[in-house]
Structure 1
Amino acid sequence: MKRKIKRELIEWIVLIVVCGVIYLAGWHTAIIGRIQKVVLSTGIIQPNVVNDEKSASYDFLLEDLNGEKIPFDVFKGEVVFINFWATWCPPCIAEMPDINKLYNDKKDKVRFAMISLDQDETKAKDYLAKKDFQFPVYFLRSPLPRSYNTHAIPTTYVLDKDGIIKVENHGMAKYNTENFKQLLNELSKSK
């Protein structure tokens, strides 16, 4: 009996040490992100299509990776995919490869605005350089209007050409699906 308790205690200590090393080394975000990426690959987590007519605001300022200030109203009249993310957010990391594939497929019909909420912008830039994503990334340079409820990240919105929010998704989702691409195609054709 004492031997069993001793073995169990050793197993718990090893588990705690391994978890501590993973956390202290900063690997936890990547590991959790990979696990969540596997969950996303199943396609069971889909974005939420909004049924009510909620208008988006274009009254805020962004800055691109080159330091150029861009008023968000330059996106008016276009279908826009907006994603709020951060490097410290495992679900954000999990969905970004999928969003990059969607961007490469739909960049001619849809404008993408991947908005980093990282406090340390150098971390975001280093992460993006390492991953070689092609989608455009921005940083906020003004307060975000109330029409964007980003209390959780990742948060994703899709705006139609009239500035109506058609997709509002809090949390990760799989966007590079035939159904979602069809929605983007329909929104691109309207007007």
Structure 2
Amino acid sequence: MERKIKKEIIEWAVLLTVIGVIYLGGWHTEVIGRMQQVVLSTGIISPDYSDEEKLAAYDFWLEDIDGNQVDFRSFKGEVVFLNFWATWCPPCVAEMPDIHNLYEQTDPVVRFVMISLDRDEQKAKEFVKRKEFDFPVYFLRSNLPASYDTHSIPTTYVLDKTGRIKVENQGMAKYNTSKFREMLSGLVEAQ
């Protein structure tokens, strides 16, 4: 009995040490994100398609990763994949590789707008560089309109050419699916 208790104490000590090292080393977001990537790879978490005719708003400013000011109104009339994320958010980290694959496989006329909500913008820039993501990353330079009022990240919107929100998804999702790519293609081809 005493041996069993000793063994259990040692197992708990090892587990807590590993968790402590991961957390104190700053790797917890990446580790949790990796575990969530496994869930995403199953395809069971897919984005929500909007049935209501909610209008997008374009009156806000961004700054790209190179420091250039961008008026979001410049995206009017285009299909836009708009994602709010942060490096400290495990679900954001989990869905980023899938979004990057979607970006690489999607018609270039679909505009990807990946808005980092990191307070430390340098951390976001280093994350994107380390992961070798080449989709456009932006930072907010004005208040967001109420139509994007979300209290959770990641949050993703897909805007059609007429300025309607076709997808509004709070939380992580697997976007790089044939169904989602077909939906984007349909929005691109629509007049």
TM-score (norm 1): 0.97
On the 8 A contact 1:34/1:94 being kept in 2, the answer is yes
Q: Is the 8 A contact 1:80 1:158 kept in 2?
A: yes
Q: Report matched runs for 1:82-93 at 5 Å.
A: 82-93=82-93
User: SS of 1:147's equivalent?
Assistant: helix
Moved segments of 4+, more than 4 Å: none
Q: What letter corresponds to residue 145 of structure 1 in structure 2?
A: P
Distance in 1, Cα, partners of 2:109 & 2:185: 8
Q: What residue number does 1:68 align with?
A: 68
Describe the SS at the equivalent of 1:19. Answer: helix
Residues 1:154 and 2:147 are matched in the alignment: no
Percent of matched pairs sharing the same residue: 65
- Aligned match of 1:29: 29
Tell me which residue corresponds to 2:18.
18
Partner of 1:172: 172
Q: Which amino acid aligns with 1:112?
A: F
Offset, 1:12: 1.3
Aligned to 2:145: 145
Question: Structure 1: how far apart are the matches of 2:42 and 2:180?
Answer: 15
For residues 71 and 109 of structure 1, the distance between their equivalents in structure 2, rounded to whole angstroms, comes to 18
SS in 2 for 1:156: strand
2:131 maps to amino acid: K
Q: Partners in 1 of 2:27 and 2:112 — Cα distance?
A: 29
- Secondary structure of 1:182's aligned partner: helix
Where does residue 53 of structure 1 map in the other structure? 53
What do residues 122-156 of structure 1 show as CA deviations (whole Å, max 9, x unaligned)? 00011111111111000000011110132111100
Q: Secondary structure at the match of 1:142?
A: coil
CA contact (8 A) 1:47 1:169 kept: yes
Give 1:107 deviation, angstroms: 4.2
Amino acid at match of 1:110: V
- Secondary structure of the equivalent of 1:88? coil
The code of the aligned residue for 1:152 comes to: S
Give the structure 2 partner of residue 129 of structure 1.
129
1:117 lines up with 2:122 in the alignment: no
Q: How many angstroms does 1:57 deviate by?
A: 0.6
Q: Check whether the contact 1:84–1:150 (CA below 8 A) recurs between aligned residues.
A: no
- SS of the residue 2:83 aligns to: strand
Q: How many residues are treated as equivalent by the alignment?
A: 191
Query: Structure 2: where are the runs of 5+ without partners?
Result: none
Give the whole-Å Cα distance in 1 for the aligned partners of 2:100 and 2:13.
40
Distance 2:32 2:88 in 1: 11
1:166-191 CA-partner distances (Å, limit 9, x unpaired): 00011110111000001001111112
Q: Displacement of 1:2 after TM fit?
A: 2.6
Deviation digits for residues 45-69 of structure 1, max 9, x if unmatched? 1000000001111011000011111
Secondary structure in structure 2 of the residue aligned to 1:21: helix
Matches of 1:186 and 1:46, distance apart in 2: 18
Residue in structure 1 matched with residue 81 of structure 2 by the alignment: 81
